[in-house]
Structures are given as C-alpha cells and as structure tokens.
Amino acid sequence: MTNPRQLAFIALRDVHKGAYADVALDRVLQKVNLPDNDRRLVTELIYGSVRRQRTLDTLIDQFAKKKSHQQPPDLRTILHLGFYQLRYQERIPASAAVNTTVQLAKENGFSGLTGFVNGLLRQYLRKAGGVGEAGEENTVSSLHTDPLQLPENPVERLGILHSFPDWIIQVWLEQLDFEETEQLCEWMNQSPTIDLRINPLRTSIDEVEAALQSVGILVNRIPHLPQALRFIGNTGSIQKLPGFKEGWWTIQDSSAQLVSHLLDPQPDEVIIDVCAAPGGKTTHIAELMADKGKIWACDRTSSRLRKLQENSQRLNLRSIQIYTGDSRHFNQFQNTADRVLLDAPCSGLGTMHRHADARWRQTPESVLELSGLQKELLTHTSTFVKPGGVLVYATCTLHPAENEEVISAFLAESPDWQIESPGGFELPEFVHSTPQGWFKVWPHQQDMDGFFIVRLRKTNNSE
C-alpha cells in the first residue's frame, strides 16, 4: 500500500488513540518505500491535521448535522483529511481533495456515507465561492470567502481560527497584545526550519557551508551565533549529508545554541548539566570548553542518555561523563561545579511548531505539575554550584508559571543568589533582556524557537 492519504489516515487513527504524531508517522513510513514527494505529502497531512484539529472539528460542527465528537472516530479522521486539504493545501486541486476523501471513506468502511462526505466538502467549497462542482479545478487560493464562522470572543476566535486550546491563547494574551498573539499563532503553525551547529573542534563554518553547497544544499548563517547555519529548502536524509558522520556538525535550533553561550563555560572547569539528554547542549558545552575539563551529564532516562553518548562519540568529544538518575536526589555534587546548566523539563510551548500534538497534550494542570518539578530541581541543583559559580536556568516554554515565577520564587528564598548579565558572549540585539535581567526569545519576532533563559550567580560569601 503506497497511497499517501491512506497512510496518513492510518497514522492519524493511531494519534487519535493516543500515539505521538512523530511516532505514528515513523511507523507508517518505515513500512513502505515512498518517493520523496509522497513522503512529504504524508508528513504534511499528518502534522497539519493534528495541528489544525480544532479548526477542522469546528468545520465539521458547522456543516454536518452531528457534531465532530459524535461522528464515528474514523469518519472524523477522514473528514479532517478532506477539510485540511481544501483549506490549507495550496497545491492540491479542490476536486482532487474531494474525490480522494470520498475514496478514503469507501475503502475504510464508510461506503454507505460517501454521499455525505462528498456533500459536506462540496458545501464548504460552495460557501467559499469556489463553486465546487465536479471537474472544476479550483484550489485553496482561488476561494473568495472563508466559510469558517468565528465567535466574537477574542480568545475563542484566535483559538478556533489558529487551532489552539483557549488556555494557551489566554497565556499569550496576558503577555502580548491581540495582534502579536495572532502572529505567534501563525508562526507556530508553520513547518519548522532546521538549524545545525558546527563543531569548531573538527571544522569551520566555511568548510561546512562549502561541503553542503557541493551537494546542492543551501544554508544561511544566523547573525551573532558563530556556529549556527539554517537549512533552506528540503535536505533529504540528514544522516547522509556531508560532514554528519565525520562529526563536523549536529542538529540544534539556534535558540538552544544561545543557552550554552550564556553559560559561557571555560576550559578546565567542572560543569554539571543536570537534565542533559538527549545532549544538544551538553555537546555544545564541550565544544565551547575545547573539550578540556569535566562535564557531568545527568539524566534519569537511560535510553535518552544513549542518544547523548552516540552524539558525543560522533562529535569525538571526550570530556563528557554520563550519570544516570534523578538530579533532585544527588548529594555527591554539593559545591563541586564551576557552572551548572538546568535546562528544565517543561511544557514546550515555545516549540509547538516542532511537536504537532503538544498543544493538545499539555493542560493548565500539567503546567502546574511541571512548575513544581522545576522549583525542586532549581532548589536542589543550585547546591551543586561552588561559591562564586554560575547557574543557567533555561526552558523552551513561554509560560510565566514555568519561567518568571520559578525564578522569582527561588530568588525570594535564596539570598546568596542573584541574576547577572551574560558573560563573555555578546548576545544578539534581538534577545530582549527584561528589566529583571532574564531573557526571552519570542518566535514570531526572532524566527527561532521560543525560549526563556536566565543566568544566576552564587555570591562568594555563601557557604
């Protein structure tokens, strides 16, 4: 079976039963050998339908007699695929989107409802002013009006139009105005870019650029980030690109690269990365220290630590020691580290464009739980730092309960700690330092993952 839409349907059925979108996608792609353009279509249909779930459900609610949650689950999935193509896929003619969706219904146990599926999608097209009669090659871009009906309430309006739960919209509207919140929503619904970080111990940025260009892969440099390149267009299999096996570079988003620069590790220091796996920041720290000194890479998940081990071997780094376990229970590291990195487990609200289903998995309750974990980690791992040493706290979320509130609570209880400006690294102008001294990367402004970073120093007189 090599029909991209049928493969997308199978994967989406798994997602609706609880599978992670990327895992479900891998599972279907591994079973077949598809040409690149079909693989891209399957990927787009799965991630797009998961991302846009709320909007697609609203369209079913609007056009069908039964609400989306009352539809048979598989039929709802088929309708998601149909509406997703009609609404968001510029290159697919409307007639093809309708006919292939009717075909999906027929092949997956709904042959008695093909008229219903056909009628529903054509009704959407008629409302959009793209008449929608058979044989008419209208595409999304030729539709004149938006058939989606939106409520007046700004939170629900943005939530339905851009497909986010209301509580996430609310969190953003408390920090940004309506227009910026909408820009952030739009940014989070784009396909993610891929950045790499060159390994200066093995190569130079010029050399990596030239090697990639020699096989027709284009990259852009990212201002102020000396090791960062961003891929332009499709890359094919990352592992097959020149320099990957040789350890010349590794994949890491530019926001994540900022974190280790802000830590500013120096050769021959002792560094503890307390939530290290899968190791993007750990290996960056080793590169910045010229692989001299000792880095303790701690994590409680041994399978993710294996990934760290593979990466450090590929990059040919020797200074990293792996330590398995929960950093909240380690007592052997007290007052031993020059610097500690706490890249805390978080809700990932700054990287939702990379994880299609994250917006539906997190809840206000899960954020509260994470915030408790972050406070425990910070309180305990701050004891690892020698007097006069540095701790950097970072998350890839944009939720104040996991960021500003965690740091404020910690500082209120820890008189021997204070926020400090970056060390020797000149931060890009766009990274806004707030009056309090922490840094926030807003994706719609900086075109990189959303991050929160703060650098703290332990005073010398603390025992």
**Per-residue confidence (pLDDT) for residue 3, from 0 to 100:** 93
* Percent of the chain surpassing pLDDT 90: 83
pLDDT tens readout for residues 251-270: 999 999 999 999 999 999 99
Q: Are strands 385-395 and 293-299 parallel, antiparallel or unpaired?
A: unpaired
Q: Give the pLDDT score at 137.
A: 46
Strands 320-324, 195-198: parallel, antiparallel or unpaired by DSSP?
unpaired
pLDDT, tens digit, for every residue of 65-97? 999 999 999 999 999 999 999 999 988 999 999
> Tens digit of pLDDT for each residue in 153-205?
999 999 999 999 999 999 999 999 999 999 999 999 998 999 999 999 999 99
Q: How far is CA 14 from CA 55, 69, 83, in A?
A: 20, 17, 19
The verdict on whether 298 is a catalytic residue reads: no
Question: How many residues are present in the chain?
Answer: 463
Is the peptide bond between 278 and the residue preceding it cis, with omega within 30 degrees of 0?
Answer: yes
Q: Region 215-228: what's the mean pLDDT?
A: 93
Burial of 34 (0-12, 13-18, 19+ CB in 10 A): middle
Radius of gyration, alpha carbons of the chain: 24
> Strand 451-458 relative to strand 385-395: parallel, antiparallel, unpaired?
antiparallel
pLDDT of 408 reads 96
Residue 421 has which token pair? Answer: 């400006």
- Name 104's bridge partners: none
- The whole-angstrom separation of Cα 257 and Cα 268 is 21
Q: Looking at the predicted structure, is the pLDDT value of residue 223 above 70?
A: yes
Q: Catalytic residue among 185, 298, 346, 396, which?
A: 396
Provide the CA 270 distance to its chain's centre, in angstroms: 30
Select from 138, 104, 106 the least CA-distant residue to 122.
138
Tokens of 159: 């939530």
192-196, 419-423, 442-446: the lowest-pLDDT one? 419-423
- State yes or no: pLDDT of 385 exceeds 90: yes
Q: How much is the pLDDT for 421?
A: 78
pLDDT at 141 over 70: no
**% the chain with pLDDT above 70:** 93
- ∠ CA(381), CA(386), CA(387), 5° rounding? 115
Give dist(CA 385, CA 410) in Å, integer: 15
Q: What pLDDT digit, counting tens, does each position of 316-358 carry?
A: 999 999 998 888 888 888 999 999 999 999 999 999 999 999 9
Alpha-carbon separation of residue 392 from 264, 339, 340, 380 (angstroms) = 10, 8, 6, 14
Task: State the pLDDT at residue 135.
Answer: 42
* Domains identified in the chain and CATH numbers: 4-145 (1.10.940.10), 154-189 (no CATH), 195-251 (3.30.70.1170), 255-458 (3.40.50.150)
Task: Give the pLDDT of residue 134.
Answer: 44
List of residues 6+ apart from 376 with CB closer than 8 A: 328
Tokens of 431: 């990274």
Q: Is the confidence at residue 432, as pLDDT, over 80?
A: no
Cα-based distances in Å from 25 to 19, 104, 360? 10, 18, 17
Closest CA to 397 of 368, 430, 427: 368
Q: What does the DSSP assignment read for 72-133?
A: -HHHHHHHHHHHHHHHH-TTS-HHHHHHHHHHHHHHTT-GGGHHHHHHHHHHHHHHTT----
Nearest 5°: phi and psi at 2?
-130, 20
Least confident of 220-234, 283-297, 347-361, 420-434: 420-434
pLDDT attached to residue 236: 81
Instruction: Give the SS3 label for residue 272.
Output: strand
Mean pLDDT of 393-411: 97
Nearest to 307 by CA among 279, 327, 346, 269: 279
Mean pLDDT along residues 101-121: 96
At residue 431, the pLDDT reads 63
- Residue 362: its pLDDT value, please? 96
Q: Which of 55, 58, 80, 78 is nearest to 67 (CA)?
A: 58
Residue 406 scores a pLDDT above 90: yes
Query: Using 50, 70 and 90 to split pLDDT, how confident is the model at 433?
Result: low
- pLDDT attached to residue 387: 95
Which pLDDT value is given to residue 430? 58
Q: Please tell me the predicted confidence (pLDDT) of residue 331.
A: 85
Q: For residue 436, what pLDDT is reported?
A: 77
